[in-house]
Amino acid sequence: MIGLLLRDLNLAVRAGGGFGLGLAFFLIFASLVPFGVGPETGVLRVIAPGILWLGALFACLLSLDRIFQLDWEDGSLDLLATSPLPLEGVAAIKALAHWITTGLPLVALAPVLGLLLNLPGPAFVWLVGSLAVGTPALSAIGTFGAALTVGIKRGGLLLSLLVLPLYVPTLIFGALTVARGAAGVDAMTPLAMLAGITLATLATLPFAAAAALRVNLR
Amino acid sequence: MSSLWEYANPRKFMSTSTTLLPWVSAIAGLCLVVGLVWGFFFTPDDFRQGSTVKIIYLHVPAAIMAINAWLMMLVASLVWVIRRHHVSALAAKAAAPVGMIFTLIALYTGAVWGQPMWGSWWEWDPRLTSFLILFLFYLGYIALWEAVDNPDSAADLTSVLCLVGSVFAIISRYALLFWNQGLHQGASLSLDAEENVADVFWYPLLICIAGFGFLFLALVLYRTQTEIRARRVKALIAQERMT
């Protein structure tokens, strides 16, 4: 399992620049927002929590089709399916690799973008915390979506259509945590809900993803 | 001796549904005509909402059936996953567009009613928003059916999506309650509630709900028959090619 994780990480870092792309997208997305809504700091301060969470969500979404597509094309997914490693474990490792290559860098970059968007001071802790807690759920849900659509040619748009409605609860609680942190009220409740969603998706969705992979590999 | 699983046999399903269909369609038509005419023309106007209250006869049944259609798809998907009955998978496929249209009717009538009553076509109210999300789930489900070529794989994948989607739909529903306070009125048809709609509105509404239920049943039976026939035609064409 660790070997698979390291292989995926190596591939992401060395081949095709998949590692930095999500991060660059997040940066560009956040810097385009002021052009769209105007540079008033008051407006930006209000919408910053939602924008940052949306940016993280779309950055995750963009890299989802890489999770299984390349392995599917060159046949290594068949090898993984016939290996002694259970397919559920493969799905979980793929989700973890996706999180390390996209979610974790987003968490690190988010405070900088928070500065750009004039996020209020006390919200920074909650921004980093909610992204750290919430992005694993995005990766787990996304892995499930990628497993569903892996056999479909040009499945990218379909993948977004399937995955985005599933992202709703995560987005609500994530953005709410930051917004409450920015307003200076108690943000622990939505953060706890977010953690609950993350734990539940991590525990259950690898099984659903593995079921979908088995169908697609038939 | 006779059990529900007999209808997993496509031939048995076809013969029974063919006898049932005219009856179900007739009951649906009768209920809808009686309920809607009664509701639209023979009930008093509400003293605060005027005649706009009458959109309830379309809005509430459509909303109820939109949710029930998804529940039916969930049950049918489970039957397909557990017992591999093709009719069940096809019924789930057949129900999806019907449920989607019901969702759309509920959203549309709600907007038409909300414009004069709330002063806006759309509010980000938990109930409205969960219906919008339900609509997106229907879209994704139908799109996945269309995208996968192999019918068995498509049935499997959409079943998994339906199971996961149901869980997420429920989580979204409660997350939305957390997210925004509602403008939509609470339940007014609960059997155990103290205060419900008055009887003059209640009876035609009940008939309309029954009418929408039978309409859904008729449409699903009809569409399932079409799917089975399409499957047969495909098999025949494949046979022709072989010889």
> For residue range B123-181, what is the model confidence (pLDDT) as tens digits?
888 888 889 999 999 999 999 999 988 888 999 999 999 999 999 988 888 888 887 76
Closest chain B C-alpha to A156 CA, distance in angstroms? 12
- CB burial readout A43-74, b (16+ within 10 A) else e: ebebebbbbbbbbbbbbbbbbbbbbbbebbee
Q: How far apart are CA A178 and CA B169, in angstroms?
A: 23
pLDDT at B183: 64
Q: How far apart are CA A80 and CA A8, in angstroms?
A: 13
Do B171 and A149 lie within an 8 Å CB cutoff?
no
Yes or no: say if B162 and B75 are a contact pair by the CB < 8 Å rule.
Answer: no
ipTM entry? 0.87
Closest chain A C-alpha to B234 CA, distance in angstroms? 21
Interface of B with A (CB under 8 A): 133, 136-137, 139-140, 143-144, 147-148, 153, 156-157, 160-161, 163-165, 168, 171-172, 175-176, 178-179
pLDDT at A62: 86
- Model confidence at A56: pLDDT above 50: yes
pLDDT at B177: 81
Closest B-chain CA to A177? B179
Q: Which of A152, A172, A194, A201 is the mutation pick for testing B, counting most B CBs within 10 A?
A: A172
More confident residue, B2 or B72: B72
pLDDT at A122: 83
User: SS3 string of A136-179?
Assistant: HHHHHHHHHHHHHHCCCCCCHHHHHHHHHHHCHHHHHHHHHHHH
pLDDT at A45: 86
pLDDT at B1: 47
Q: Which of A125-134, B3-12, B207-216, B230-239 has the lowest mean pLDDT?
A: B3-12
CB-nearest to A215 from B156, B164, B165 is B156
B212, with CB counted inside 10 A (0-12, 13-18, 19+), is buried
Q: In this complex, is the C-beta atom of A115 within 8 Å of any C-beta atom belonging to chain B? A: no
Q: In this complex, is the C-beta atom of A164 within 8 Å of any C-beta atom belonging to chain B? A: yes
Ordered by start, the domain boundaries in chain A are: 2-217
Single pTM value for the model: 0.89
Q: In this complex, is the C-beta atom of A211 within 8 Å of any C-beta atom belonging to chain B? A: yes
pLDDT tens by residue, A28-54: 998 898 888 888 888 888 888 889 999
Q: Return the number of CB contacts < 8 Å for A and B.
A: 72
Phi (first) and psi of residue B50, to 5 degrees: 65, -145
The pLDDT > 90 percentage for chain A reads 35
